[in-house]
Amino acid sequence: MTLVLLSFYGSTFIPENLYTNVISQILNGCVATIGLLGSLLIWRHHDGMRARKLWAFVLLVWAVLATLLLMRLIAYDVMREETGVLNLHGWEMLVGNFYAWLLLLYPAEMLRPGWLNIGRAIRHLLPVFIIAAIDHIFIIDLRWMLALYPIVLLGFLAMHVRAYRVWCEQNYSSMEHIDAQWIVRYMIMYLICGGAYIYLSVTTHPTRSLTLQWLLLFMLTYSTDQILFRPDPWKIIRRRLREREAQEEDDDSATVETDEQTRAAYRETLEQWMRTDKPYLNPDFRLMDLREVLPLNRSYLSSLINSAYGCNFYQFVTNYRINEAKQLMSEHPEMQVQEVAERSGFSSPTVFSRIFARETGVTPREWSAKSDKS
């Protein structure tokens, strides 16, 4: 953030000719180069992943636009000599919104695989052209709406983040290695770039786009590195989900009775299995593992948990693990937190301590100390 502020402040001291003729063209040339090379590299190593193919497309479009912008800046230099005026506000508004839209395509696909299609993508971008058309036809200054529309797009992404977490909690008993920290960093960079873009839209200083240009260059480079060299945290999850959904389609028992007596029998069978076999002690315990005793499809299993216990699968398993941890600490007060976490099914001591404190209001050590006194 300090570097961003220094960039804002320092850009005002750069000579106009130096920025227009040299710095700006170098930065746009770097964006075009990174976009083209990154697109080729990602495409060669997409491994059949639709999200990587989409990012390769985004980089390619960005490279083309950066090249066109570079040519446009050269053209405006000629216009400046004739008119003495340089006004890129309308162009920057449209291009900026298009850039914002591009940046959100990849995370949208990662959070909800298969949801994004051409129709939905176009509908997300369409309001930009509608606002621009109204602004032009009726001579109404709606630039502030265009400047803020990327925030609306970010809101759509936030909805996908929540939908993804809900899906995880309905299908997995542990959030470890599922919540992607990269999406948080990506959204922070997106917000910073958005702030630079709004600043660019309200000032007329010739070097106003310096900060935005190098921020976007960093964001493209960093994201390409993460996408190419970091393992996809959902690759195994998606594969397992596809396999199990295919199994459901072939399973004749996918259709079940939903009367109260049948549901009560399912609940009794489930609770008996949880008490005797304790499958929740496996940190990788999944919703579809319940099919070992309940030959039902995924949707019905999730519905059964929600209606019978008033919670999702993640919370259902967490309650069993918390109770197991309490029993261990009561019977073995000398046991270390790390061992308690491991023997009660949590993926790590850190996760165990955080969830235990959230559910009980005290840390595992505090609960153990109170249990000893009583």
- pLDDT higher than threshold 90 for residue 185: no
Question: Any bridge partners for residue 286, and if so which?
Answer: 172
Residue 157's Cβ-count burial label (10 Å; 0-12, 13-18, 19+) is middle
Task: Look at residue 45 in the predicted model and tell me its pLDDT.
Answer: 84
pTM tops 0.75: no
Given a cut of 90, whether residue 193 has pLDDT beyond it is: no
* CATH 1.10.10.60 given to domain 313-374: yes
Coil, strand, or helix at residue 286? strand
Determine whether 145 is exposed, middle or buried from the number of CB atoms within 10 Å of its CB (0-12, 13-18, 19+): middle
Question: Which of 270 and 150 is assigned the larger pLDDT?
Answer: 270
Length of the chain equals: 374
pLDDT for 76 equals 44
Region of 117 on the Ramachandran plot (φ > 0 left; ψ -120 to 50 alpha; else beta): beta
Q: Is the pLDDT of residue 109 over 70?
A: yes
pLDDT at 215: 81
Given a cut of 90, whether residue 347 has pLDDT beyond it is no
pLDDT at residue 44 above 60?
Answer: yes
The two tokens of residue 154 are 């970010």
- pLDDT of residue 225 exceeding 50: yes
Least confident of 21-30, 61-70, 144-153, 345-354: 144-153
Q: What is the mean pLDDT of residues 269-282?
A: 91
Mean pLDDT of the chain: 76
- For 31, the enclosing helix (H) or strand (E) is helix 24-44
pLDDT tens readout for residues 287-343? 888 888 888 887 888 888 888 888 888 889 999 999 999 999 888 888 888 899 999
Is the per-residue pLDDT at 156 higher than 90?
no
Residue 86 has pLDDT above 80, yes or no: no
Interval 253-279 mean pLDDT: 78
| Most confident range, picked from 174-183, 283-292, 338-347 | 338-347
pLDDT band at 253 (very low <50, low <70, confident <90, very high): very low
Residue 7 vs residue 44, higher pLDDT:
44
End-to-end CA distance of the chain: 51
Is the separation of the CB atoms in 218 and 273 below 8 Å?
no
Domain ranges of the chain: 2-233, 253-310, 313-374
What's the pLDDT at 161? 76
> Which pLDDT band, with edges at 50, 70 and 90, does 184 fall under?
confident
**CB count in 10 Å sphere of residue 352:** 22
